[in-house]
Structure 1
Amino acid sequence: MTGNLRFPWADLPPVKGEETAPDSALPTAPAPRGRRGRRPLAAWRDATGNGYWQWWHLLVHGPVAVVEGFAGAARGRGLIPWPFDGERVEEDMFALAIGDGASAHTRRGLSVEGCRILARQFRNAAEVRHSQNLMRMDHACVLDFHALVPIPPDILRLGATHPDALSWLRRHWGTAEAPRNVQRLVGRKAGRRLPNGHKPVVYGFFTPRAEAPEPLVVALRARWPDLSFALSPRDMT
């Protein structure tokens, strides 16, 4: 199934902005029973249903000019530019809605025509989403994995669900998806005294729990030998 086929629940809550307060200010427990409240970030499951999301901190520190150079290079659109095929999206959604040989009962009352209408509506929504993503040319994401370790064009042409594309991502990024809810955490320190002329920057982001972006950090250390990188999982519960 094409990588363009995404559901509304595949995304975490929207990012509030480029920079945010330390994650101690983020919700860490469910809202009390009987009250309405935003679902805690720790309660959101990944798109495949294989577990909870993992919240990470990436601490980067070193000479001020080098840190600022890294921060500039890390900025991007925050998206993997997979090819978009609206017709394929519609076909995939129709197949999912109608099922292989499924009866009208197992389709929850949807007729064949109803499945076609649903698939077309999903395609239209996907095309709108894709167009909106293409308009994000302002480099709004502060830690774009694709900007730091670019996916080769021949891998991108395979599509998001091709086994070779998934293998490349896990080998070079450690995760088969772009990170979610990427934020620069203002006020975070290095945890120790840094030499004069040095500064830290700390990023927070989510990946599926089973996918640690260690390979990406290894590549960053090789590309920026004057910087120190420390990746650590953080408990959002």
Structure 2
Amino acid sequence: MTENLRLPWADLPPATAREEETAEATRRAPGRRGRRPLSAWPQPAEPSPWQWWHLLVYGPDTGMDAFVAEAAGPGLIPWPFDAERVEEDMFALAIGANSPARGRAGLSIDGCRILARQFRAAAEARHARLGLRAEKACPLDFHQLVPVPERILQLGATHPDARAWLRDNWGLTEAPRQVRHLPGRKAGRRLPRDHRAMVYGFFTRMGTPAPVIRRMEEHYPTLTFRLSERSLA
């Protein structure tokens, strides 16, 4: 279905306010005055679908060693990739956008086919790049911690049953984005000897990863997990 079409570039969460300010300062020409500051622009009426999280994990070194080794992975859900379906969906989407009923006219049928082929090429290139990710590129891979069953993977990312499984078992319908270890962050308390802490940061869209955290707590009873939502500002 075209409404379930996923854009190859729609993977990154929005920049934080600090990142936006840095980018704005870089773009601004030297000596130019009078530009409205970023804070003066109207704010979106709807809240951002993205959430930024910190996950604090601490406990004895032996338990932490096991967790760090088992949690790392490529950071992807290995959905099957169908390039022909991608092209067909994009063609249908382009034709629908040019529908006279919508009062729009633009690309011809041949133009829509060309656009669909270009979109397919971009999707194939993206899929190939993702396939080159290192096996342990992501320090907190949800698929490693709570694997998606093969029968669910074969349904595809947009299938209602697949999305329902992810909501029930991950609290999300997509893998987290920009997962990274945040060095230098502390547990906020004095830990016993031979204990240590780690803090992970990641973005999610439209959901709360509480089910995954519960599974971690069950699987690693010697460790403590503290999930906190952080401001995007």
Which residue of structure 2 aligns with residue 23 of structure 1?
none
Aligned 1:1-237 pairs, distance under 5 A: 1=1, 5-12=6-13, 28=18, 30-31=20-21, 35-36=25-26, 51-99=48-96, 102-103=99-100, 106-208=103-205, 210-237=206-233
Return the structure number with greater helix share.
Answer: 2
Q: Which runs of 5+ in 2 are unaligned?
A: 28-37, 39-45
Answer whether contact 1:13 1:181 (CA < 8 A) is retained.
no
1:121–1:106 Cα change, 3 Å: farther
> Residue by residue, what CA displacement relative to the aligned partner does 1:8-66 show, whole Å, maximum 9, x if unpaired?
2442379xxxxxxxxxxx753742897345xx9xxxxxxxx973311000010001121
1:104–1:124 Cα change, 3 Å: farther
- Could you tell me how far 1:129 is from its partner in structure 2? 1.1
TM-score, normalised relative to structure 1: 0.82
Task: Tell me how many residue pairs correspond in the alignment.
Answer: 215
Which has more radius of gyration?
2
CA distance in 1, matches of 2:98, 2:17: 44
- Could you tell me how far 1:4 is from its partner in structure 2? 6.9
CA distance in 2, matches of 1:150, 1:87: 27
> Residue by residue, what CA displacement relative to the aligned partner does 1:175-218 show, whole Å, maximum 9, x if unpaired?
1010001110000000111111100011000001x401000000
Amino acid at match of 2:79: W
Answer whether contact 1:74 1:144 (CA < 8 A) is retained.
yes
TM-score, normalised relative to structure 2: 0.83
CA distance in 2, matches of 1:133, 1:30: 26
CA distance in 2, matches of 1:235, 1:160: 29
Which residue of structure 2 aligns with residue 46 of structure 1?
none
1:108–1:154 Cα change, 3 Å: same
Which residue of structure 2 aligns with residue 19 of structure 1?
none
Q: Which runs of 5+ in 1 are unaligned?
A: 15-25, 41-48
Amino acid at match of 1:66: G
CA distance in 1, matches of 2:158, 2:109: 27
CA distance in 2, matches of 1:106, 1:65: 64
1:97–1:107 Cα change, 3 Å: farther
1:50–1:80 Cα change, 3 Å: farther
Answer whether contact 2:73 2:141 (CA < 8 A) is retained.
yes
SS in 2 for 1:181: strand
CA distance in 1, matches of 2:62, 2:106: 62
Percent identity at matched positions?
Answer: 53
Amino acid at match of 1:81: P
